[in-house]
């Protein structure tokens, strides 16, 4: 079930390759309480790989190619529990259109920048797209454990980059979190205690807005952002619910990019939990989910209300600015 949207955050993680996106998400997962702790892992004598970089191909190339989602739950200092959907964003320009598509699922961007290297070409590329999608960045200066790190300069380089990209005052007034994903801590000031990732969780809850476009009363609309395939269930559509809600066994209209629609029935709904997907009965506007049982279905299709089928605007490569009204 979707938590109340006030307790939901959809964050795209954007970074230049090697700046620590995978390590950071890995630590967030381990510390969210949902996942085995590293301590347990160590005690078990197990080696754990980085959870986000799983494909052999990715390991081979040393970059995160596939966009994946995972979710963590976090009990904030206000006592409330939040679900944070972490959306991995491909950093490479080669994957035309994919970055934009992935960014449509998010309401804020976690911009990870290496505390020594500072912003690099991919930082600029993805940040520009995030701004075009109306996402405000939360800046994580990572690797501050590096002896050669220069966090203060890097923060001003990020500011200059944002200004150069024409960011508005709100985006320029970004929150900075310093982190060492390697050591597993984050802090809002370099003088703070270096203990855990709490400061980053808190910053996400505070700085990333709750879902926009989340009218549960509206007709059902989900934009298909990626497709998975399983031998058992076939095609699995992944995306964000922009309006209304989806229910397991619901009859829906699947509208393709030519506007053709087919009436189909959802067999199963899955919501993200850690790296797993768990079956759920209902997913409401604002949340992300995986939908089983629909075929034909493709990236860019809309899963819509069977009685009032209306397509969401397609995300195209030529038009990086996505305005959804
Ligand atoms: P990604 O390409 O952005 O996903 O980056 P990775 O998480 O794979 O990290 C790239 C490299 O930087 C790896 O060798 C990590 O061990 C290293 N790394 C990541 N975070 C830190 C950190 O906080 N401090 C240091 N010193 N190294 C880090």
92 CB within 6 A, ligand 1: no
How are beta strands 251-255 and 282-284 bridged, if at all? unpaired
Tokens of 157: 């380089």
Mean pLDDT score across all residues of the chain:
85
Work out which ligand 1 atom sits closest to the CA atom of 112.
3
Distance (angstroms) between ligand 1 centre and the Cα of 23 equals 6
ipTM of the complex: 0.99
CA distance 89 to 272: 16
pLDDT tens, 197-255? 999 999 999 999 999 889 999 999 999 998 988 888 999 999 999 999 999 999 999 99
| Residue in 66, 67, 92, 181 to alter for ligand 1 test, most ligand atoms within 8 A of Cβ | 181
The residue to which tokens 């991919």 are assigned: 122
142 CB near ligand 1 (under 6 Å): yes
Indicate the pairing of strand 69-75 with strand 81-88.
antiparallel
Q: Mind listing the pLDDT tens digit for each residue in 165-201?
A: 999 999 999 999 999 999 999 999 999 989 999 999 9
Is 21 marked within a binding site? yes
Q: Confirm whether pTM is higher than 0.80.
A: yes
CA separation for the pair 172, 263 (Å, rounded)? 46
Q: How far apart are CA 51 and CA 26, in angstroms?
A: 6
């Amino acid at each position: 079930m979707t938590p109340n949207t006030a307790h939901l955050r959809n964050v795209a993680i954007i970074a230049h390759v090697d700046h620590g996106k995978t390590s950071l998400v890995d630590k967030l997962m381990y510390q969210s309480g949902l996942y085995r702790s590293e301590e347990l892992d160590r005690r078990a004598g197990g080696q754990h790989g980085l959870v986000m970089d799983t494909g052999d191909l990715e390991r081979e190339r040393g970059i995160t190619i596939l966009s994946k989602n995972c979710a963590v739950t976090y009990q904030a200092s206000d006592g409330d529990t939040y679900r944070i959907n972490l959306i991995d964003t491909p950093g490479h320009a080669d994957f035309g259109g994919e970055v934009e598509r992935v960014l449509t699922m998010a309401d804020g961007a976690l911009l990870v920048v290496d505390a020594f290297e500072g912003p690099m070409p991919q930082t600029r590329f993805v940040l520009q797209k995030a701004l075009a999608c109306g996402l405000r960045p939360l800046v994580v200066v990572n690797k501050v454990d590096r002896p050669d790190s220069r966090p203060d300069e890097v923060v001003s380089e990020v500011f200059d980059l944002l200004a150069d990209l024409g960011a508005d005052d709100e985006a320029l007034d970004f929150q900075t979190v310093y982190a060492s994903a390697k050591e597993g801590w984050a802090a809002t000031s370099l003088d703070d205690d270096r203990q855990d990732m709490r400061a980053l969780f808190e910053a996400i809850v505070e700085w990333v807005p709750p879902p926009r476009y989340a009218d549960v009363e509206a007709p059902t609309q989900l934009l298909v952002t990626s497709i998975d395939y399983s031998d058992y269930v076939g095609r699995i559509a992944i995306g964000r619910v922009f309006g209304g809600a989806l229910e397991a066994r619901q009859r829906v209209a699947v509208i393709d990019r030519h506007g053709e629609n087919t009436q189909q029935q959802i067999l199963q709904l899955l919501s993200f939990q850690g790296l797993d997907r768990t079956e759920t009965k209902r997913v409401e506007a604002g949340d992300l989910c995986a939908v089983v049982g629909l075929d034909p279905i493709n990236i860019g299709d809309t899963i819509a209300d069977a009685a009032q089928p209306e397509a969401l605007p397609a995300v195209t490569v030529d038009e990086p600015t996505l305005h959804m009204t």
